[in-house]
Amino acid sequence: MTAKLLLLPGDGIGPEVTVQVRRVIDWLAANRDLSFDLDEDLVGGISLEKTGEPITDAAMDKAMAADAVLFGAVGGPQWDKNAFDKKPERGLLRLRKDMELFANLRPALCFPALTDASSLKPELVSGLDIMIVRELTGGVYFGEPRGIEKLAGGGRKAVDTQLYTTDEVRRIARVAFELAGKRKGHVHSAEKSNVMHTGVLWREEVTHIHDTEFKDMKLTHILADNCAMQLVRNPKQFDVIVTDNLFGDILSDEAAMLTGSLGMLPSASLGAKDPVSGKARALYEPIHGSAPDIAGRNLANPIAAILSFAMCLRYSLNHEAEAALLESAVAAVLDQGLRTGDIMQPGKTQVGTTGMGDAILKVLDAAAR
Ligand code: IPM
Ligand code: MG
């Protein structure tokens, strides 16, 4: 079966890291029993420059028809002043919304070779393995009404709406409990039920799904601010954290950074499984963002993008063996002491984006012999 992939490299370091993913895809096509139908299109600032839209309808149609979308990054300072609907980020948000990618999986794991790179003490983070499950198509990112209005007496007012329905909370809770079932069986659900109605609903609905469908899992409710604090105090108490769109945005950045591996972490955004085909729409993306300050200088770390493709092999294409092969190739290269600038440590060898890609392909070649 040929896997239909849409590459959306986007802005900043997105294109550079995507080039390395393409090399890995080509390697798999040549050396494994896998075939790919690759297409590429524009998203973000580059799309705005060339088409006037953060993503075109034509690119959206391709994304909807693909088995998976491989996304690079969007955004940069040159577009910061753009009107809201002409910001590069709208391209990503439209992909999430129109593809109904409600479940965002963000693993925060500490690679053994990088334990010392964390800002926390090594014993707090060594062996750390957290999965953040962020609700991705609801909440304050999309709730109506939203906007900025002039006030009659002068000044303006801005409104964003935090909104969640029973079904939205229940379906993301199920994803979290199902994942926990394959891990340590413990879900923390983070909200602000002490100040927000959406937090109260969130807590009640997660409890309901737990009590009716996942009684054998452990469920702990935690206020989102306390969760942020506990993540730096004692991160290893967490297994799976399920939370809303905005808290998930913040907590996942925090969790990623405390692994010392921000440039290393992949993510998957998944839709509901089609009841007939069993397939789910999916988008895979490194969590590091566009990093305009280092773009185009062969400094970016391509590992997060390559590991995002490994998640694609696992969750969308059902090729667990190849996913594990890529993950072990990454670990091997780190064990060889090779580092991009973001994870450079004394006594290690610094390589560029292409050099890191070369090294990973070399390990893959050796494995194929
Ligand atoms: C993320 C990013 C996005 C978000 C931006 C780029 C819209 O920060 O994926 O975490 O806020 O969701
Ligand atoms: Mg974010």
Strand partners, 7: 40, 70
Given the residues 67, 249, 284, 342, select the one marked as catalytic: 249
Q: Are residues 235 and 300 in the same domain?
A: no
Query: Looking at ligand 1, which atom is closest to the CA of residue 75?
Result: 6
- CB–CB of 115/343 below 8 Å? no
Note the ligand closest to the C-alpha atom of 267: 1
Q: What is the pLDDT of residue 263?
A: 82
10 membership: H or E segment, kind and range: strand 2-10
Q: Are residues 279 and 338 in the same domain?
A: yes
How many domains does the chain divide into?
Answer: 2
Q: Are residues 91 and 50 in the same domain?
A: yes
- CB–CB of 308/288 below 8 Å? no
- What does the alpha-carbon distance between residue 223 and residue 130 come to, in Å, rounded to a whole number? 17
9 by Cβ neighbours in 10 Å (0-12 / 13-18 / 19+) ranks as buried
Q: Which residues line ligand 1 (CB under 6 A)?
A: 75, 89, 92-93, 249
Q: Are residues 123 and 59 in the same domain?
A: no
Identify the domain boundary among 241, 260, 279.
260
Q: Are residues 237 and 302 in the same domain?
A: no
CA of 274 to the centre of ligand 1 (A): 26
Tell me, yes or no, if 141 is annotated catalytic: yes
User: Which residue has its alpha carbon closest to ligand 1 atom 1?
Assistant: 249
Identify the domain boundary among 206, 238, 260.
260
Dihedral angle sign, alpha carbons of residues 90, 96, 100, 102? negative
Q: Tell me: the pLDDT tens digits for 219-268? A: 999 999 999 999 999 999 999 999 999 999 999 999 988 887 778 899 99
- What does the alpha-carbon distance between residue 112 and residue 127 come to, in Å, rounded to a whole number? 7
- CB–CB of 226/188 below 8 Å? no
Tell me, yes or no, if 358 is annotated catalytic: no
Tell me, yes or no, if 315 is annotated catalytic: no
Tell me, yes or no, if 33 is annotated catalytic: no
Provide the whole-model pTM.
0.94
Size of the chain, expressed as the number of residues it contains:
369
Among the listed residues 295, 289, 299, 286, the one whose alpha carbon sits nearest the alpha carbon of residue 344: 299
Would you tell me how many other CB atoms lie within 10 Å of the CB of residue 56?
17
Q: What is the pLDDT of residue 300?
A: 96
Strand 268-273 relative to strand 240-243: parallel, antiparallel, unpaired? unpaired
CA of 141 to the centre of ligand 2 (A): 12
- Does any domain span residue 360? yes
- Does any domain span residue 188? yes
Q: Are residues 116 and 253 in the same domain?
A: yes
Given the residues 98, 160, 253, 358, select the one marked as catalytic: 253
pLDDT values of the chain reduced to their tens digit, one per residue, 369 residues = 899 999 999 999 999 999 999 999 999 999 999 999 999 999 999 999 999 999 999 999 999 999 999 999 999 999 999 998 999 999 999 999 999 999 999 999 888 888 888 889 999 999 999 999 999 999 999 999 999 999 999 999 999 999 999 999 999 999 999 999 999 999 999 999 999 999 999 999 999 999 999 999 999 999 999 999 999 999 999 999 999 999 999 999 999 888 877 788 999 999 998 888 888 999 999 988 999 999 999 999 999 999 999 999 999 999 999 999 999 999 999 999 999 998 898 999 999 999 999 999 999 999 887
Q: Are residues 38 and 88 in the same domain?
A: yes
68 membership: H or E segment, kind and range: strand 68-73
Given the residues 26, 225, 274, 335, select the one marked as catalytic: 225
Query: Looking at ligand 1, which atom is closest to the CA of residue 245?
Result: 12
Q: Are residues 198 and 84 in the same domain?
A: no
- Does any domain span residue 147? no
Q: CATH number for the domain including 19?
A: 3.40.718.10
List CB contacts of 369: < 8 A, sequence separation 6 or more.
Answer: none
- What does the alpha-carbon distance between residue 142 and residue 124 come to, in Å, rounded to a whole number? 36
User: Which residue has its alpha carbon closest to ligand 1 atom 2?
Assistant: 249
Tell me, yes or no, if 249 is annotated catalytic: yes
Q: Which domain holds residue 229?
A: 110-135+163-260
Give me the residue label for tokens 């780190």. Answer: 334
- Does any domain span residue 242? yes
349 by Cβ neighbours in 10 Å (0-12 / 13-18 / 19+) ranks as exposed
CA of 321 to the centre of ligand 1 (A): 30
Identify the domain boundary among 236, 260, 284.
260
CA of 249 to the centre of ligand 2 (A): 5
